[in-house]
Amino acid sequence: MKQRRWLKISIALIIVLIVIDIVAGVFFYNLAIQRGQKDFLNDNADLEVSAEAMNTFTKGGWRQWVREQDFEELEVTSFDDLKLQGYLLEAEKPTNKLVIMAHGYLGNGSQMGLYGQYYYEELGYHFFTADARGHGSSEGDYYGFGWHDRLDYLKWIDLLINKLGPDTEIVLHGLSMGAATVLMTSGEELPENVKVVVADSPYTSVKDLFSYQITRMFHLPPFPVLDTTSLVSKIRAGYSFTEATALEQVKQVDLPILYIHGDADTFVPTEMTTELYENTPNAEMVTFENANHGEAFAISEEKYIEVLTTFLDKHFD
């Protein structure tokens, strides 16, 4: 009798724990992946922006520049039938150079004007940016964290080559989630038009990123909650955290990749970029002193431009 009683208690406890785990998995999916406002990031110390960077982000002349440009709106339909919105600014003078930019989590394509202005005005490139699935004017009820987005970018690349010409030479340049996106894209079968990749503040994989964040922000061990959240993501968004990996993608890439990361980044630790760099066959890595997440250009524009231009000059005629 006593053994049966303990068996019933044990089974009941296991059921309770499973229910709690499932509830937590759904909660964290809704919190981070489902499209919507993310209040949990408000007042996050890891995302504190220096006064210098904040001034550039919010008051920089690049914002007015973006508003004044006559972007052509483009559209593609994703593999899962979402309408995605892109924006092309053709160069003022004839060129075969094109930068395709990818923005970060909760952002939109226009924010990449911070970098696109330099490519367009100083380097004379065509400038293209897009709203990632689930962001801006693009459809989608979840954030792909780069994994499904990589397939979207394959479509954008094909569309732009068809539009601008078969001799088009392409730079893929992404920030944060956008950096992971271009790295994940680079591991796919790409046309020879894609020449280089620039990844600013990327993460190694969605699993690694969320493992780091759930421990740092919520003081929880990754197992088993993260595994359950990954399962919920697979069911509702069509991808698991394990498969969404930039690290495995770059291991098979011959393209030159420039990695950029701030050495004071506590939101996506610099060590992730170091691991990516060490596993990329043809790569360079530059760290920016005292730069938090995605701040490198904003606080060290001169150095950033020098690093970027040197890299591009090395790989373009």
Q: Which residue would you say has higher pLDDT here, 27 or 129?
A: 129
Give me 158's structure tokens.
């094909």
From residue 229, alpha-carbon distances to 18, 21, 56 in Å are 13, 9, 36
In the structure, what pLDDT confidence band is assigned to residue 129 with cuts at 50, 70 and 90?
A: very high
**Mean pLDDT rounded to a whole number for the chain:** 92
In the structure, what pLDDT confidence band is assigned to residue 46 with cuts at 50, 70 and 90?
A: low
Largest CA distance in the chain: 87
pLDDT at 164: 98
What is this structure's pTM? 0.93
pLDDT at 10: 63
In the structure, what pLDDT confidence band is assigned to residue 43 with cuts at 50, 70 and 90?
A: low
Q: What is the average pLDDT across 93-104?
A: 97
pLDDT at 141: 97
* Lowest pLDDT segment from 24-33, 61-70, 247-256: 24-33
Query: CA nearest 25: which of 237, 247, 267?
Result: 237
In contact, 288 and 261? CB cutoff 8 Å = yes
In contact, 195 and 316? CB cutoff 8 Å = yes
Domain 59-203+244-317 classification at class level? alpha beta
Q: What are phi and psi of 100, to 5 degrees?
A: -110, 120
Q: What is the average pLDDT across 271-298?
A: 96
pLDDT at 25: 82
In the structure, what pLDDT confidence band is assigned to residue 38 with cuts at 50, 70 and 90?
A: confident
In contact, 292 and 260? CB cutoff 8 Å = no
pLDDT at 270: 97
Cα-trace Rg, the chain: 21
Give me 55's structure tokens.
């001034």
pLDDT at 44: 67
Q: Is residue 1 scored above 60 in pLDDT?
A: no
In contact, 4 and 10? CB cutoff 8 Å = no
- How does pLDDT run across 213-232, given as a tens digit for each residue? 999 888 888 889 999 999 99
Ranges of each domain in the chain = 59-203+244-317, 206-242
Q: What is the average pLDDT across 252-270?
A: 95
Give the count of beta carbons closer than 10 Å to the beta carbon of residue 113: 25
In the structure, what pLDDT confidence band is assigned to residue 37 with cuts at 50, 70 and 90?
A: confident
Q: What is the average pLDDT across 279-289?
A: 97
Give the DSSP letter string of the chain: -HHHHHHHHHHHHHHHHHHHHHHHHHHHHHHHTBSS--GGGTT-GGG---HHHHHHHHH-HHHHHHHHS-PEEEEEE-TTS-EEEEEEE--SS---EEEEEE--TT--GGGGHHHHHHHHHTS--EEEEEPPTTSTTS--SB--TTHHHHHHHHHHHHHHHHHH-TT-EEEEEEETHHHHHHHHHHTS---TTEEEEEEES--SBHHHHHHHHHHHHH---STTHHHHHHHHHHHHTS--TTT-BHHHHHTT--S-EEEEEETT-TTTTHHHHHHHHHT-SSEEEEEETT--TT-HHHH-HHHHHHHHHHHHHHH--
Q: Which residues contact 292 (CB under 8 A, 6 or more apart)?
A: 46, 47, 48, 49, 50, 53, 262, 264, 265, 266, 267
